[in-house]
Amino acid sequence: MAIQTILVQLKNPSKSKQKQWLYEQQVFASTVNTCVERINNGEKLSSKNVDADLKAAIKNEAIRLAKQAVTDFKEQKAKNIPTFKNSLGVRINGQNWNTVEKNGRWYMSFTGNQGKKTLPVVESSDVKTFFPWLTKKHNDYRGTIQLLRKGRHWYMAIPIQVSSPLDRDINLQAYTPIGVDVGLRHLAVLSEPISGQRQFFSGKEVGYIRRHFRSLRRSLGKKKAQRAIERVGQKEKRWMKDYNRKLAKAIVDFAMQFDRPLIKMEALDDIRKTAKSMKKADRTIHSWAFYQLKRFIKERAAKHNIPVVDINPYKTSQTCFGCGHAEKDNRHRDRFQCTSCGHKAHADMNAANNIATSTSLAV
């Protein structure tokens, strides 16, 4: 089960509502910062002993957020305890909001300091897809949302649980299998062995850009510019995230051209142990966010009801797609030549074909 956050724009809220929401944002951020300080000093908090001009349910959300910030710092998941800004989204738990349909239009109904309000939204494809599952009767699907402002507009950030469940007893033959082999020289190699269609996504561009970021950090390190190094690191993370999203879209788009596609990927538990290389270019992308890429693929595929399954990676790169003979000497970097039948292929393409036809699901 993956969590995907959608942004839904509130349609033409009045100036008085916008003014009230700005005030609630400021009070919420201030309350979280106060709670952080008190929790860090060992106090136990509840909505009763937190003095803030907020509904009790929203106070509780502020306390939860503060607790998480302190816990992350103490468990060394964060370098420091953040100071929350006034732009922080106001959190509203799943019991205090729902979607409403009136005369074929969708609305957001939520409780703030002014009581419960029901407001129209700008209808997007996400609204049409998910809002029917977020009405009052669907309690299990509603999580904590955030009311926030981006530019001149106001939005609700809504977490959505998305999945494409595949029963382990399902007939895999009923689907068109798409094998996805991820690695270092090629970030992804796709294959649909029945038609023979394939696609390569080279890691050369990624290697070049990451070497550029690494060079920047090295030069800034000589100047001891720690803050600048951290900014470069954050910029690199944003670039990697954007690249992974685009790559995930391209992979799902490839799958969508087939009837009843099923995406198969190797379980990634030991990818950095199995994908070894000594080349500088490969070492540059050895720390690539493969788990993030896989998550984006699953989220994107779920939107189109395309199942994604994990395949046991055992010897997929050493097994001949032609005869099934498995041996370490079959593979020499990018080249695959079977020592038994002589079958020749690109090594990553051979692996993608094996993944596509494998029926050994990862446990």
* Counted domains in the chain: 2
Q: At what angle do helices 15-40 and 56-74 cross, to 10 degrees?
A: 40
Q: How far does the chain reach from its first CA to its final CA, in angstroms?
A: 16
Write the single-letter amino acid at 46: S
What are the phi and psi torsion angles at 62 (to 5°)? -65, -40
Distance (Å, whole) CA 147 – CA 10: 10
* DSSP designation for 240: H
Q: Which of 162, 183, 210 is the last residue of a domain?
A: 162
pLDDT band at residue 37, thresholds of 50, 70 and 90? very high
**Inside any domain, residue 362:** no
Residue 335 within a domain:
yes
178 within domain boundaries: yes
List, edge to edge, every strand of the sheet that includes 97-102: 97-102, 105-112, 115-120
Q: Which two tokens stand for residue 84?
A: 């929350």
For residues 83 and 161, the model is more confident at 83
Q: Is the pLDDT of residue 263 over 60?
A: yes
pLDDT in tens, 184-236: 788 899 999 989 899 999 888 888 888 888 888 888 887 778 888 888 888 88
139 & 263 share domain: no
One domain, residues 118 and 219: no
> Range of 232's domain?
172-357
Q: In this structure, are 267 and 222 located in the same domain?
A: yes
pLDDT score for 286: 46
Q: Does residue 330 share a domain with residue 236? A: yes
- Whether residue 363 is contained in a domain is answered as no
CB contact at 8 A, 61 and 93: yes
- Residues 240 and 340 placed together within one structural domain of the fold: yes
Query: Of 129, 162, 195, at which residue does a domain stop?
Result: 162
Please give the C-alpha separations between residue 303 and each of 8, 82, 101, in angstroms, as whole numbers. 17, 34, 22
| Rounded mean pLDDT, 288-306 | 86
Q: pLDDT value at position 268?
A: 67
User: What phi, psi does 119 have (nearest 5°)?
Assistant: -125, 145
Concatenated DSSP letters of 29-74: HHHHHHHHHHHHTT----GGG---SS-HHHHHHHHHHHHHHHHHHH
Q: Nearest CA to 248 among 207, 310, 204, 290? A: 290
Is residue 94 located within the same domain as residue 146? yes
Measured over the CA atoms of residue 201, residue 205, residue 208 and residue 209, the dihedral's sign is negative
Instruction: Output the pLDDT for position 86.
Output: 92
In angstroms, the CA 102 to CA 245 distance is: 34
β-pairing, 335-337 with 331-332?
Answer: antiparallel
DSSP code, position 140: G
